[in-house]
Amino acid sequence: MPAPAAAVEVDHVTRTFGPLTALDDVSLEVEAGEAVGVLGPNGAGKSTLLSLLAGLRRPDRGTVRVAGGDPRDPGARARIGVTPQATGLPQTLKVREVVDFAAGHHRDPVPRPELLERFGLTDLAGRQCGGLSGGQQRRVAVALAFVGRPRVVLLDEPTTGLDVPARLSLWEAVRGFVADGGTLLLTSHHLEEVEALAHRVVVVDHGRVLVSGTVEEVRGRTEVRRVRFRADSVPDDLLVGAEVLVRDGDRVELLVPDADGLVRDLVRREVSFRDLEVATASLEEAFLALTSGATTPEEVSR
Ligand SMILES: Nc1ncnc2c1ncn2[C@@H]1O[C@H](COP(=O)(O)OP(=O)(O)OP(=O)(O)O)[C@@H](O)[C@H]1O
């Protein structure tokens, strides 16, 4: 029997805007039931990738398939739920009216009370969208992605502007979707969000995939350590290849690929350092080091 097709297939996709290459020969697969987080700095190409997957744009080269079809075909589109980066709800409609409007596009929508309950929006049902706070509007926009019982959900920075309780409750709703076999692809600047929701991380920068792997693999691959110490002076050449986080008076804090080597160099060069601390970097720090080029980007095999 042939292997089942992946829920999301991006095959050697390039997308340009005039002279600018937003995506440069990107390939990516997401299996059914898998959750993948796309990380990258501003302008990396994350939203462009999502817009291709949502069928809103066409690749210049390469192919995109989502939920078994071309996302530009209405049949495949009906199986995809999307929350774009900009919320854009009709300001004069009430929350329940917006949900009903979105539900009207689907054959078997989630009943409104169930959807509102799942996303903690029941109390807001009668409120006009224009009168909601930014965070409340964001929660409505994310809930709408799920109204048509999609197989694949694409969320572009879903929890931007949400406070901590709202973020946690939204994560719970999204996790429920994945636990039920849904496929999720999200972009985020909140690395803890990717750690909380995704099985796998894809780091993009300048339109290219730098690294793809589990959170642990990406962290292990980058092998970045956070090194903190105090020293009255440090020769600049010892900091080549390090991401300098703090250099203020005698305080130095760095992200380095080889902490042992740095410490050996400090000793060899007789730098009188004190209060040395070496720690495993968080994913956020590893990501910062990756995109700033402090380590060599390399594909992690799945
Ligand atoms: N419609 C467009 N016209 C021209 N350039 C565009 C357009 N959309 C995106 N770009 C450019 O393509 C590149 C990738 O943009 P994209 O929005 O995909 O990045 P991103 O990773 O989502 O960034 P952010 O984290 O800021 O949302 C950027 O340089 C951006 O300016």
pLDDT digits (tens, 9 = 90+) for 144-194: 999 999 999 999 999 888 888 889 989 999 999 999 999 999 998 777 788
pLDDT attached to residue 240 = 86
pTM: 0.80
Q: How far apart are CA 208 and CA 46, in angstroms?
A: 10
Q: Tell how far the Cα of 186 is from the centroid of ligand 1, in angstroms.
A: 16
What would the two tokens of residue 171 be?
A: 């994560």
Cβ–ligand 1 distance for 186 under 6 Å, the answer: no
Cα atoms in the 13 Å half-sphere on the side-chain side of 302: 10
Q: With contact defined as beta carbons under 8 Å apart, do 238 and 262 qualify?
A: yes
- Atom index in ligand 1 nearest the CA of residue 48 equals 18
What would the two tokens of residue 179 be?
A: 């636990």
Which of 15, 23, 47 has most ligand 1 atoms within 8 Å of its beta carbon, as the pocket-test mutant?
47
Ligand 1: residue whose CA is nearest its atom 29: 43
Cβ–ligand 1 distance for 272 under 6 Å, the answer: no
Nearest to 78 by CA among 89, 66, 60: 66
Ligand 1: residue whose CA is nearest its atom 6: 17
Q: How far apart are CA 185 and CA 36, in angstroms?
A: 5
Q: With contact defined as beta carbons under 8 Å apart, do 155 and 186 qualify?
A: yes
pLDDT attached to residue 290 = 67
Residue 117 gets which letter from DSSP?
H
What would the two tokens of residue 4 be?
A: 């089942």
Q: How far apart are CA 167 and CA 158, in angstroms?
A: 9
Q: Tell how far the Cα of 18 is from the centroid of ligand 1, in angstroms.
A: 12
Please give the helix or strand (H or E) that residue 49 lies within, else none.
helix 46-53
Cβ–ligand 1 distance for 47 under 6 Å, the answer: yes
Cβ–ligand 1 distance for 53 under 6 Å, the answer: no
Q: Tell how far the Cα of 180 is from the centroid of ligand 1, in angstroms.
A: 32
Nearest to 127 by CA among 155, 99, 106: 99
Angle at 109 between CA 108 and CA 114, to 5 degrees: 130
Q: Tell how far the Cα of 255 is from the centroid of ligand 1, in angstroms.
A: 28
Q: What is the mean pLDDT of residues 122-138?
A: 93
Confidence of residue 299 (pLDDT cuts 50, 70, 90): very low
Ligand 1: residue whose CA is nearest its atom 18: 45
Confidence of residue 197 (pLDDT cuts 50, 70, 90): very high
The string of DSSP codes covering 162-201 is --HHHHHHHHHHHHHHHHTT-EEEEE-S-HHHHHHH-SEE
Q: With contact defined as beta carbons under 8 Å apart, do 46 and 188 qualify?
A: no
Q: What is the pLDDT of residues 45-88, one digit of tens each?
A: 999 999 999 999 999 999 999 998 999 998 888 899 999 888 78
Q: What is the pLDDT of residues 215-272, one digit of tens each?
A: 777 766 666 788 999 999 999 999 888 888 899 999 999 988 889 999 999 999 999 9
Q: Tell how far the Cα of 26 is from the centroid of ligand 1, in angstroms.
A: 15
Q: Tell how far the Cα of 39 is from the centroid of ligand 1, in angstroms.
A: 14
Nearest to 295 by CA among 205, 235, 186, 232: 205
Cβ–ligand 1 distance for 190 under 6 Å, the answer: no
Cβ–ligand 1 distance for 40 under 6 Å, the answer: yes
What would the two tokens of residue 136 be?
A: 């409340």
Confidence of residue 4 (pLDDT cuts 50, 70, 90): low
Q: With contact defined as beta carbons under 8 Å apart, do 100 and 112 qualify?
A: yes
Q: Tell how far the Cα of 109 is from the centroid of ligand 1, in angstroms.
A: 32
Q: Quick one: the chain helix, strand, coil %, rounded to 5?
A: 35, 30, 40
Q: What's the N-to-C CA distance of the chain in angstroms?
A: 23
Nearest to 260 by CA among 281, 233, 278, 235: 278
Cβ–ligand 1 distance for 86 under 6 Å, the answer: no
Q: Is 9 left (phi over 0), alpha (psi -120 to 50) or beta?
A: beta
The backbone torsions φ and ψ at residue 246, rounded to the nearest 5 degrees and listed phi first, read -140, 130
Cβ–ligand 1 distance for 42 under 6 Å, the answer: yes
